[in-house]
Amino acid sequence: EAAVTQSPRSKVAVTGGKVTLSCHQTNNHDYMYWYRQDTGHGLRLIHYSYVADSTEKGDIPDGYKASRPSQENFSLILELASLSQTAVYFCASSERTYEQYFGPGTRLTVL
């Protein structure tokens, strides 16, 4: 069974609209992460969290908010979606400094 799941798997949003991407993990990991992947590029870290009710900024946090209401759940929020936020978004979890386990990704298209 998949240990990191994401919903939705695909979404089309309008410019200026609000988008929420959800991630759920059953690994019992403390750390969770949100990355974006653009065509031809590697993954870049947006936000991460190492404990419930707390989030930290990653390398490219502008335009994104995150929420970690429980150990298992981590959401990425785009308050005002823009064309430049069209990308594939991946959630991951890890046991502190150990390897990360990734979800299947959410393909977001902003029109």
> Which residues of this protein are in contact with other proteins, per CB under 8 A?
4, 31, 33, 40-45, 48, 50, 58, 90, 92, 94, 96-97, 99-105
Q: Which is nearer to other proteins, 45 or 77 (CB)?
A: 45
- Report the nearest approach of other proteins to the CB of residue 84 (Å): 19
- Taking the C-alpha atoms of 88, 94, 100 and 101 in order, what is their torsion angle to the nearest 10 degrees? -70
The DSSP 8-state label assigned to residue 84 in this structure reads G
- Report the nearest approach of other proteins to the CB of residue 30 (Å): 10
Q: Which is nearer to other proteins, 9 or 18 (CB)?
A: 9
Residue 32 CB coordination number (10 Å): 29
